[in-house]
Structure 1
Amino acid sequence: MKPLIQKYAPAAAGLLGNYKDEILGPMWLGSFMFSSVKQIKQLKVRDAQAKKRNGASRAKRGGKRC
């Protein structure tokens, strides 16, 4: 995919003409929001896994905190 983008991106930028900023701005914002949501979901999964591990280790100790 990357070679295609490198090959055709400059030509596509010329097709946008005067509306380049109006098109690329929302595209950038959408990309930023997508990656942010993806990262937040990954962090939530990691937090849930950490809680699960901590709960399992507490159960082995009889529910006592260290």
Structure 2
Amino acid sequence: MAGNQLPRHVRVTDAVHRLAVLGLVGFCVVGTGSIVFNVWANSDYAPWNKEKLKFEQEQYHEARQADKSKPE
């Protein structure tokens, strides 16, 4: 055995630990990326949302008034 070589159980434990850390970091990066993408995709900046339905405040108040005037 060479002077600087670690025992097998230490190398195996180190490899398992590194894989676990890489897996957790990867999971967090993918999760954060998906959250950021969903926020962007549902925002006004996404190209497919340029024509989405928008309500003006006046339209909202008109609809409320029309709703109040309906007989029940």
Give TM class, smaller chain: 0.5 to 0.7
Larger relative contact order (CA 8 Å, sep ≥ 6): 1
Gaps of 5+ in 1: 1-19
Q: Does 1:46 pair with 2:35?
A: no
Shift of 1:52: 0.6
Q: TM (normalized to structure 2)?
A: 0.53
Whole-angstrom distance in 2 between the partners of 1:23 and 1:60: 51
The size of the alignment, in residue pairs, is 45
Q: TM (normalized to structure 1)?
A: 0.58
Task: Give identity over the alignment, percent.
Answer: 4
Shift of 1:58: 3.2
Alpha-carbon RMSD = 2.5
| Runs (4+) off by over 6 Å | 59-62
Gaps of 5+ in 2: 1-5, 51-72
